Amino acid sequence: MTDLLAGAKAPPQERRLVTEIPGPRSRELAARRAATVSAGVSTTLPVFIERAGGGVLVDVDGNSLIDLGAGIAVVSVGNAAPKVVAAVQEQVEAFTHTCFMVTPYEGYVAVCEELARLTPGDHEKRSALFNSGSEAVENAVKIARHATGRQAVVVFDHAYHGRTNLTLALTAKNMPYKHRFGPFAPEIYRMPMSYPFRDARGMTGAEAAARALRLIETQIGVTNVAAVLIEPIQGEGGFIVPAEGFLPALADWCRTAGAVFIADEVQTGFCRTGDWFASEHEGVVPDLIALAKGIAGGLPLAAVTGRAELMDAVHSGGLGGTYGGNPVACAAALATIETMRVHDLAAAARTIGDTMLPRLRALQERFPAIGDVRGRGAMIAVELVHPGTLEPDAELAGRVARACHARGVVVLTAGTYGNVLRFLPPLVISRDLLTEALDVIDEAFAAPVPGPAEMPPATPA
């Protein structure tokens, strides 16, 4: 797959370490960085990248690392994907910006047409484009409130929806996201999530939904709920796949309650989970869907797509932003979507899952600290616990991640408890590279690397 998609200019698709990690040039840059970049911005692995393509990242010291992060689920089509590069080059030479709200251009419209075609449901749809996932989620909430005339927004334990003030209110985890950044926006209500690994054994999706809905009805009141907002598979929260039936039950409830069902598919969207959108897996049709990350092959673009009557309820001028739907980002999105369609990257994601899950389950047999192996498509994780318990082991997650990094495989951690190792390879990664990465993960479990106290795993988790 990669040879076809990475293009002639892509770096060799190999893991190659020529210095320690990080190498001397990365260390120099890290020192410059420390003197000028805010300490509030963290880094998972301080190797500075010079080139990237297909399934590898090449650093300034010439190390070639296997990428199992894809820039947090963004470069699904591969880094510097040839079609994306060509489309961006062509657009950037034509014009870089006009502001769609001042003088429009075709690319924006074409992206919205694609979103109407691709997103679940055959109802009449409209879209609005933004720059980041946070902005998309925030605007989805604005639209839902405006359209319903209601205020309450339901979110879930372990949710991650962004870092702006409203989306921080929607996000569950205090450290590092919310700590000392309050006060947060009101009228946000957090409900228990369906979390099969941690719920009572055998709890069904319908039961987990009933648990949440009972609380919604008693603590908020049906007629006050503007929206129920949920990630179909929770991302930063630890790749939590709700029990079957949970999402459809919430969506059904919204329909009868007159509330808007919003799917935050910022991380799960665009083929990541083996379908164009994760909602499709159980036939859920969201009223609004928030999109970003994988949509534009690495350029900043985000969208809210949804029912025309909701999207058009907002008064003219009520939605917008200087850069939303920037022409270069739109060109990248069109090329990204085309690449996904032509090369069936949803199928590629399923193949990645089919390769990873059995290997990780076999690993679980040997390492009882692996309490759970889960995920779908190319969104796969292992949750680490003290063997035989549900007690999270974040320290081990950090050690295994560090061992992977030292061996040239970029992995991320996640989870409310920081004890989840997650894998988000570019969907174009070759089978050989993926297999090699799995070998490295295996070695890392056998020889995890303790971290110096001053360098805790800094993955946003």
* Residue selected from 292, 360, 437, 441 as contacting ligand PLZ according to rule CB under 6 A: 292
- Residue 437 CA to its chain's centroid (Å): 20
Per CB under 6 A, the segment of 92-100, 230-238, 339-347, 443-451 that binds ligand PLZ is 230-238
Buried b (16+ CB within 10 A) or exposed e, 286-315: bbbbbbbbbbbbbbbbbbbbbbeebbeebe
Q: What is the CA radius of gyration of the chain?
A: 21
| Distance, CA of 264 to CA of 231 (rounded, Å) | 5
The bridge status of strand 302-307 relative to strand 288-291 is antiparallel
Per CB under 6 A, the segment of 113-121, 161-169, 326-334, 412-420 that binds ligand PLZ is 161-169
* Residue selected from 33, 51, 163, 211 as contacting ligand PLZ according to rule CB under 6 A: 163
Q: Does 72 bind ligand PLZ (CB under 6 A)?
A: yes
- Which residue is nearest to ligand PLZ, using beta carbons? 133
Q: Half-sphere exposure of residue 131, counting CA atoms within 13 Å on the CB side?
A: 9
Which strands sit side by side in the sheet containing 288-291, from one edge to the other? 125-130, 302-307, 288-291, 260-264, 225-230, 152-156, 188-191
- Give min distance, CB of 7 to ligand PLZ, in A: 26
Distance from the first to the final alpha carbon of the chain: 31
| Distance, CA of 308 to CA of 142 (rounded, Å) | 15
> Among residues 58 and 292, whose Cβ is nearest to ligand PLZ?
292
> Among residues 172 and 292, whose Cβ is nearest to ligand PLZ?
292
Name residue 318's amino acid. G
Asked whether 295 and 129 are in contact (CB, 8 A), the reply is no
Q: Does 69 bind ligand PLZ (CB under 6 A)?
A: no
> Among residues 15 and 158, whose Cβ is nearest to ligand PLZ?
158
> Among residues 51 and 163, whose Cβ is nearest to ligand PLZ?
163
Q: Which residues from 125-144 bind ligand PLZ, rule CB under 6 A?
A: 132-134, 137
Q: Does 61 bind ligand PLZ (CB under 6 A)?
A: no
> Among residues 320 and 460, whose Cβ is nearest to ligand PLZ?
460
Q: Does 239 bind ligand PLZ (CB under 6 A)?
A: no
- Give min distance, CB of 240 to ligand PLZ, in A: 12
- Give min distance, CB of 303 to ligand PLZ, in A: 12
* SS3 (DSSP) at 54: strand
Per CB under 6 A, the segment of 111-119, 187-195, 263-271, 313-321 that binds ligand PLZ is 263-271
> Among residues 161 and 399, whose Cβ is nearest to ligand PLZ?
161
* Other Cβ atoms closer than 10 A to 431: 12
* Residue selected from 254, 266, 285, 291 as contacting ligand PLZ according to rule CB under 6 A: 266
* Residue selected from 67, 231, 275, 436 as contacting ligand PLZ according to rule CB under 6 A: 231
Give the length of the chain: 461
| Distance, CA of 429 to CA of 69 (rounded, Å) | 11
Per CB under 6 A, the segment of 196-204, 261-269, 350-358, 407-415 that binds ligand PLZ is 261-269
* SS3 (DSSP) at 340: helix
Joined together, the tokens standing for residue 402 give 């560090």
- In eight-state DSSP terms, residue 224 is G
Q: Does 264 bind ligand PLZ (CB under 6 A)?
A: yes
* Residue selected from 7, 162, 242, 425 as contacting ligand PLZ according to rule CB under 6 A: 162
Q: Does 353 bind ligand PLZ (CB under 6 A)?
A: no
Burial of 252 (0-12, 13-18, 19+ CB in 10 A): middle
- Give min distance, CB of 72 to ligand PLZ, in A: 5
Task: Find, among 272, 268, 285, 303, the residue nearest to 114 by Cα.
Answer: 303
> Among residues 119 and 351, whose Cβ is nearest to ligand PLZ?
119
Number of residues that bind ligand PLZ (CB under 6 A): 17
- DSSP secondary structure, 186-230, as one string: SSEEEEPPP-TTTSSTT--HHHHHHHHHHHHHHHT-GGGEEEEEE
* SS3 (DSSP) at 171: coil
- Give min distance, CB of 297 to ligand PLZ, in A: 14
- Give min distance, CB of 220 to ligand PLZ, in A: 22
Q: Which residue has the tokens 């989970």?
A: 273
* Residue selected from 160, 195, 246, 423 as contacting ligand PLZ according to rule CB under 6 A: 160
Q: Is the torsion defined by CA of 139, 272, 239, 214 positive or negative?
A: positive
- Give min distance, CB of 319 to ligand PLZ, in A: 17
> Among residues 308 and 455, whose Cβ is nearest to ligand PLZ?
455
> Among residues 2 and 76, whose Cβ is nearest to ligand PLZ?
76
Which residue ranges make up the site for ligand PLZ (CB under 6 A)? 72, 132-134, 137, 160-163, 231, 235-236, 264, 266-267, 292, 460
